[in-house]
Structure 1
Amino acid sequence: MNRLSRRTFLKHSSLAAGAALTIPRSSSLRAATTAPAAIRPKLAQFEYAQVRLLDGPMLEQFDRNHRFFLGLDEDGLLKPFRERAGQPAPGPVMGGWYNDNPAYDPPKNMTGYIPGHSFGQYLSGLARAYAITGNKPTQEKVQRLVKGFAPTVTEKFYVDYPLPAYTFDKTNIGLLDAHQFAGDSHALPVLSRAVDAVLPHLPAGPQTREEACAVPHKNISYCWDETYTLPENFYLAYLRSGDARYRQLAARFLQDKDYFTPLSQDENVLPGLHAYSHLNALASAVQSYLVDGSQMHLRAARNGFRMIQQTQSFATGGWGPDETFRKPGSGDMGASLTKTHASFETPCGAYGHFKVTRYLMRITGDSAYGDSMESMLYNTILGAKPILEDGTSFYYADYNNVASKFYHQDKWPCCSGTFPQVTADYGISSYFQSPEGVHVNLYVPSQLTWTQNGSRCVLTQRTEYPYHPEVTLEVRTERPESFAIALRIPAWAGPGTHVAINGKAIAEEVRPGIFLSLHRTWKDGDRIELTLDRTYRLIQVDPEHPNLVALLHGPLSLFAVGETPATLSRRELLAAQERSGSWSVSSGSDAVTLLSYPQIKDEKYRLYLPVSV
């Protein structure tokens, strides 16, 4: 790894961030020809450069990932591509899943599983990081990687390669983001050649894992490809390049027969499917709606996500124990608490979850998708352990009755690729633009800069939420302007939730489960004070285990650490007290300490607690 000192990194990043406050940059560097979408959503996404995270855990996590991937050895990243192209391949062997290995023998030995698989995601994460910070070394690294990758693009790469669609899909988004966000003029021509290279190794259309296994195959991993996730990024390639070939390829790989059509008809076909990739596939259905106007695919995405929330999700918002959706009514979710420590595929699942909820909230304007995003943030990804220098990565969140945070046994797994992408997306998940003004979705220390009615506006958010209930938003404008600032009021918010402007309570009713629109003429220095009544509530693991419950406080799922009584009462749990950054539940002479997921380090913990009837 090329070491990049924190001082040098912060110097470049802080200079760029400071410039972004005075002269907002466009983070989109569009092709000369782009394509229109059929649908314009209710809410628009801000550019990466328009949202600046301020000091807090989200900025710390983003900066750590940015610094880590900026320091990776470029020859090491390119080595598997150069080797498979028969070219000189200097640099270190990264190992794990990332490089070819003659000892690869799935599922017993996964070293050498998918050579080069996450290269495109690392490229994407760096391109988005450049769009956020304006850090020139980051842009230069992205462009060098594209330049180094270009000569390796050959059909030979996919010979005897188990998951061509899986790896190409990541290459696709990496090159698209290098073009869009890092201004690389070579990225789209390289992508066109990369498509030519992979197409001979793809099936005629989407395949289920069973269909892939029915074809003669070298080993079990040839059954695991994910052709059904291809359409999302093919649609994005069409939108960003204007090349109709990508739109045709997107339509070719939509998994309608086995997945989207039954979902659109409200048939739950999730049980037994690989959890992350099929949640991620819902993003392809959404893009089919946005680009082609397909109402069927929008219904499929909305129904599928609802089924995941209602039948597959833990109290944290995570889903898919052992990476598999479970049959409703089977009690499998509760049973998993004693059978596995692989409860939720965290960075990958959070990345897909954020994407799908962003899409659906933009289309519908429904604040419930923001509530879901918030749960995923505070209860899963924000508590992920950092990637280590040798590629050792956090992978699974553990909800077992005797649980711990642990690293994956293989270096450079899939979650090492989605981790930098999801942390780069924190800012664009926090605010959205409507024709009337701004929607505030996540309550995080941050600053949004945009133009409203021709005036430059800045909205600065300061908060220690969710550990404290208060959120303050300050408006700065060049001149008074009339527009709306809509605040997401979570569905769990209690009756003590209130909003004031410049110290005076608003006249509008504050109702849970909506975006509360504050439309007025805003003046420079106006302040919004939001106080969220963080209620306590209990959520059972599934209907078959009604007496196994998790305690939540506001958006936070609380995890018991240390010894716990054999049973607690619901009344005792709901009487929990917050003290000095942790929570305490009294049961007779015993006291149970609970922590949020980001607070847990090396303690053993338990999410679901047994309660008396």
Structure 2
Amino acid sequence: MQMLRFILLGSLAMASLAVEAATPTVKTFGLGDVELLDSPFKQAMERNAEYLLSLDADRLLHNTRKYAGLKPKGELYGGWESQGIAGHTLGHYLTALSQQYASTHDPRFKKRLDYIIGEMAEAQRAYGDGYIGALPELELKTMRGFKQGNVEVKDAFTFKDGAWVPWYTQHKVLAGLRDAWTLGESAQAKDVTLKLANWVDDITAGLTPEQQQTMLQVEHGGMREVLFDIYGLTKDERYLKTAQRFEHRAILDPLLAGRDELPGKHANTQIPKVIGAARGYEVANQSEGRPIAENFWKTVVHNHSWAIGGNSDGEFFFSPNSASEHLSAATAETCNTYNMLRLTERLFGWQPQVEYADFEERALYNHILASQEPKQGMFTYFMSLKPGHFKTYSTPHDSFWCCVGSGMENHSKYGAAIYFHAADALYVNLFIPSVLHWKERGLELQQTTLYPNDNRTSLTVKQAPTAPLSLRVRVPAWASGNATLTLNGKAVAVEAKPGSYATVQREWKKGDVIEVAIPTSVRTEPLHGSNDRFAFVYGPVVLAGDLGPAPAGPTVPYAKEQQANLKAESIEVPALAGNPQQLAASLRRVAGDTLAFKLTTSQPRKEVTLRPFHEIDYDRYTVYWKTTPAKQATAGE
């Protein structure tokens, strides 16, 4: 085997490209192998499915046909679909349809998918050079100019002539086509995908290393990742070479060296670059991809993330110690968490650690599930953490922000990370009601739980595997004590300390039932760099203070523009007095099946209900509380 050799001072020196893949330690299951049972996740998936079917494919295809010289069949949608980034939603939509079909095999999604691919194939023929998309004339002209070496940059989002992130948009289209091919089972999508990938190669093949790096100064989405994916599917070295042209050394080199140079950088521009490095490690055994991905993940999760699992303020990373200055209405762009979860699942595959699964759970509950509006299935862009503020959701037809596109994907793949497997072991990472069908091992496992409202989950063998198997159940690091396990009603002597996997290995029988109980209590988590701000957390869920209904208005709860309510006034949040841990211990859980606690504030003295953040949809809230020492608060009263 000949390995790729890298010159890390600037550009990449290409060697022979006969490479092997790095085999993950564990793998996830196909979306069709995991059936969701009733839970907030299944309900969110069903709402999202209804929204996907409510959209008009011909309206999403408007610019695809128009710019190819074909007559549009539907009116153009509004919002971002009527701007220079037009077409990005079509790519996300293809992925969401493909994931929904792979998860449920509902023929309605397959029919919609096949129609769109047929229309895109017709437009691709009309363009004549392999290109397909919905880019306006300026953006497409800029991209075609790369073939002549015309690469001039204005800023991180536009080229000199004003073209707005054309590679970002094309990534969404190419990724959607890939998913229609691999998940949506569309043979025609394979042909359209490869022709577009060939076009990408054609317009970038003549760029010098210096021109490549200049081009990559403008946000370009996950182009490297998707091209690595296509290489992995085809083993055609052409796509491996093309993928390497999207290797942005200015970002990757500091990460490889273990340096945190993220403050001041646009957050979601960088995460896909790291996923691309991770894919290079996976499909082409490019060894540097692993430390880059691991260093980035640790840096972002430990130093740049909010309690809900999201990151950024106004879309940018900032110095961790200044977090209290960034509790704005523009925190936690939802796309960032979408991408961080995709990265997390890859890292878990390399090294199955509880820490990765804990983050997956935190971000899934407190950001992704919390980002969906429950009436129409709309989406947040920013997840406001400004005390006393509220959530803003998209409109059905006049927003189409980036987070609407990634949101369509988020809620169509909840089964992706519940279970992982090695050859002889099953990892239970998330406690979500579901049925796993592990066909290769002959196992059917049903998980029943009211988690996190209840701290127990039940795993029932509906069909026994054909050989002995290790069942490894995550004991979260946040657990307040060792988990307890029973097998068919009898206690199992197994190590189950927080931050580990409780493992039961045996020859399983139909009807076997494993019951798992995880000690859970309220705890507090301080805000980075702050001595007086903290969040309440119960198990995996952040508890937010419910401060009453948000103000009714033309942009509440739905807004065409994602910035619509950034300057809306917030209400004053009651202060707390005393030690955070003592305050947590003083909370009183509300009787009943709901998960809620009562908190008594000090200034003014009143009772506030704390509820899971993902259940607060239309009310004002606070996630981070400010506290003062008890004596100081008393003196000021």
- For this structure pair, what is the TM-score category when the shorter chain's length is used for normalisation? 0.7 to 0.9
Aligned pairs (5 A) from 1:195-206: 195-198=197-200, 204=207
Please list the CA deviations of residues 228-262 of structure 1 after superposition, one character each: whole Å capped at 9, or x if unmatched: 6311111111112333221111122112x211221
* Residue of structure 2 equivalent to 1:557: 542
Please list the CA deviations of residues 325-384 of structure 1 after superposition, one character each: whole Å capped at 9, or x if unmatched: 11233x1x21112xx2011112x2232122111000010111111100000011111112
Letter of the 1:548 counterpart: R
Aligned pairs (5 A) from 1:132-151: 132-151=103-122
Secondary structure of the structure 2 residue equivalent to 1:592: strand
The answer to whether residue 313 in structure 2 is matched with residue 321 in structure 1 is yes
- Using the TM superposition, name which of 264-273 and 192-201 deviates more: 192-201
Aligned pairs (5 A) from 1:358-507: 358-386=345-373, 393-408=379-394, 411-451=399-439, 453=441, 456-478=442-464, 481-495=467-481, 497-507=483-493
Mapped to 1, the partners of 2:19 and 2:96 lie a distance apart of 25
* Residue of structure 2 equivalent to 1:4: none
Please list the CA deviations of residues 175-195 of structure 1 after superposition, one character each: whole Å capped at 9, or x if unmatched: 111111222111122122223
Letter of the 2:616 counterpart: I
Whether the 8 Å CA contact 1:228–1:253 is kept in 2: the answer is no
Aligned pairs (5 A) from 1:75-224: 75-99=58-82, 112-153=83-124, 154=127, 155=131, 158=135, 159-161=137-139, 162-198=164-200, 204=207, 211=214
1:596 aligned residue (612, 617, 627) = 612
Secondary structure of the structure 2 residue equivalent to 1:85: coil
Mapped to 1, the partners of 2:170 and 2:209 lie a distance apart of 14
Could you say if the C-alpha distance between residues 483 and 553 of structure 1 is closer, same or farther in structure 2, counting changes exceeding 3 Å? Answer: same
Mapped to 2, the partners of 1:392 and 1:438 lie a distance apart of 35
State the identity %: 28
1:48 aligned residue (18, 23, 31) = 31
Whether the 8 Å CA contact 2:379–2:403 is kept in 1: the answer is yes
Q: Paired residues, what number?
A: 547
Letter of the 1:567 counterpart: L
Q: Shift of the alpha carbon at 1:208?
A: 12
- Using the TM superposition, name which of 133-142 and 67-76 deviates more: 67-76
Secondary structure of the structure 1 residue equivalent to 2:469: strand
Could you say if the C-alpha distance between residues 316 and 178 of structure 1 is closer, same or farther in structure 2, counting changes exceeding 3 Å? Answer: same
Secondary structure of the structure 2 residue equivalent to 1:593: strand
Whether the 8 Å CA contact 1:206–1:254 is kept in 2: the answer is no
Please list the CA deviations of residues 85-109 of structure 1 after superposition, one character each: whole Å capped at 9, or x if unmatched: 121112122111113xxxxxxxxxx
Letter of the 2:478 counterpart: W
- Using the TM superposition, name which of 583-592 and 350-359 deviates more: 583-592
Whether the 8 Å CA contact 2:314–2:331 is kept in 1: the answer is yes
Whether the 8 Å CA contact 2:177–2:193 is kept in 1: the answer is yes
Q: TM-score, normalised by structure 2?
A: 0.81
Could you say if the C-alpha distance between residues 144 and 504 of structure 1 is closer, same or farther in structure 2, counting changes exceeding 3 Å? Answer: same
The answer to whether residue 57 in structure 2 is matched with residue 74 in structure 1 is yes
Mapped to 2, the partners of 1:208 and 1:533 lie a distance apart of 56
* Residue of structure 1 equivalent to 2:244: 251
Whether the 8 Å CA contact 1:480–1:523 is kept in 2: the answer is no
Mapped to 2, the partners of 1:530 and 1:278 lie a distance apart of 39
Letter of the 2:444 counterpart: V
* Residue of structure 1 equivalent to 2:524: 538
* Residue of structure 1 equivalent to 2:45: 62
Could you say if the C-alpha distance between residues 206 and 82 of structure 1 is closer, same or farther in structure 2, counting changes exceeding 3 Å? Answer: farther
Please list the CA deviations of residues 469-496 of structure 1 after superposition, one character each: whole Å capped at 9, or x if unmatched: 1111101225774101111111011115
Whether the 8 Å CA contact 1:164–1:201 is kept in 2: the answer is no
Mapped to 2, the partners of 1:77 and 1:436 lie a distance apart of 45
Mapped to 1, the partners of 2:208 and 2:64 lie a distance apart of 26
Mapped to 2, the partners of 1:538 and 1:75 lie a distance apart of 49
Whether the 8 Å CA contact 1:470–1:529 is kept in 2: the answer is yes
Mapped to 1, the partners of 2:187 and 2:220 lie a distance apart of 28
Instruction: Output the aligned Cα RMSD.
Output: 2.5
Q: Shift of the alpha carbon at 1:407?
A: 2.1
* Residue of structure 1 equivalent to 2:533: 548
Letter of the 1:128 counterpart: Q
Mapped to 2, the partners of 1:424 and 1:206 lie a distance apart of 39
